[in-house]
Amino acid sequence: MDLLNRIFLEPWGEMAAAPDFFLQVVWEGLVSGTLYALIALGFVLIFRSSRIFNFAQGIMVVFAALTLVGLHEMGLPAWVAVAGTLGVMFALAWTVERVVLRPLVGQPDIILFMATIGLTLFLIGFGETIFGGENRQMITRELGIPTGDFVLEPGGGLLILQQIDVTAVSVAGLLVLALLAFLNFTRMGRAVRALGDDHQAALSVGISLQTIWVLVWFIAGIIALVTGIAWGSRAGVSFALEVIAYKALPVLMLGGLESITGAIVGGLLIGVLEKIFEIYWGAPLMGGGTETWFAFVLALIVLLFRPQGLFGERIIERV
């Protein structure tokens, strides 16, 4: 009975007794979930346009962040370094399309997936050769990102919001809105959607597969840079950041591999729920560390009842 109380009653009582602390936990989860969603968006965009699961999206986050820091250390002003990094990510997108993807058109999906694993290993080795393996500090202040705190007092309680986190959530929201506007209201965006809906039909009306691939890989590079700046401002920049990208996998399973809405909602859900579970159930009952596996267990449970994810389309094959 005591164990049941600790599992089912005490956590809810703690939430009700300290609502300001509960809001703090939710906010921290929302920040993490926003960044998970950004990484997942990179996966979704590339998969929708090319049916390639881009295993390299995580290392692209690290590579973009290290490039930004490296260019600034070479003496370039912060925003010039940002522009230079965007140029590097475009060059990477063009090179991947020309050297990796174009020769493999028509090959089985597993071949393309293995190619992105090879790209991951190449970027790790190339990045370590150029930037080294030590942890670096993100140029947060040089980019004009505020580093103080907002202190709110909801209902007489205390809620502390780091300005870095507020900026990250705001920029991520604007990026998502810009991406949705691009996909829905521009010619190239509609071409990306058409290619995702039906490859053969899109190619038959003159949509260039190579152009779209370069475009979506470049957009994924922009997303990687924003994510790298946000995560790097919180934890520094090193190849350890690649591990964070693995959290996008349960986000994709939860939301659906082809759904932009699913990536956003799935990221936010996982970020908030894993933080709440860690604080109110994981730490008291299991000694902590549940954030490393909670998202995968949650995604597995969802897949048992909805294999295509919450927002994925059910695929019915007629035989």
Query: Could you tell me what percentage of the chain is helix, strand and coil, using 3-state DSSP and rounding each to the nearest 5?
Result: 75, 5, 20
pLDDT at 199: 63
At 152, give phi and psi (nearest 5°): -110, 155
Query: pTM to 2 decimals?
Result: 0.88
d(CA 221, CA 216): 8
Q: List average pLDDT for each run of 10 residues in the chain, which is 319 residues long.
A: 64 76 90 89 84 86 92 91 95 91 81 89 89 84 83 73 88 89 85 70 69 88 90 81 78 84 90 91 79 88 85 58
pLDDT at 200: 64
Q: What is the dihedral of CA 78, 84, 90, 93, to 10 degrees?
A: -80
Q: CB-based contacts of 237: which residues, under 8 Å, 6+ apart?
A: 62, 65, 66, 69, 135, 136, 137, 138, 228
Task: Tell me the three state secondary structure of residue 186.
Answer: coil
Amino acid present at 290: T
Q: CB-based contacts of 131: which residues, under 8 Å, 6+ apart?
A: 66, 67, 69, 70
pLDDT at 198: 64
Task: Tell me the three state secondary structure of residue 207.
Answer: coil
pLDDT at 1: 56
Burial degree of 41 (CB within 10 A; 0-12, 13-18, 19+) = buried
pLDDT at 3: 59
Number of residues that this document lists for the chain: 319
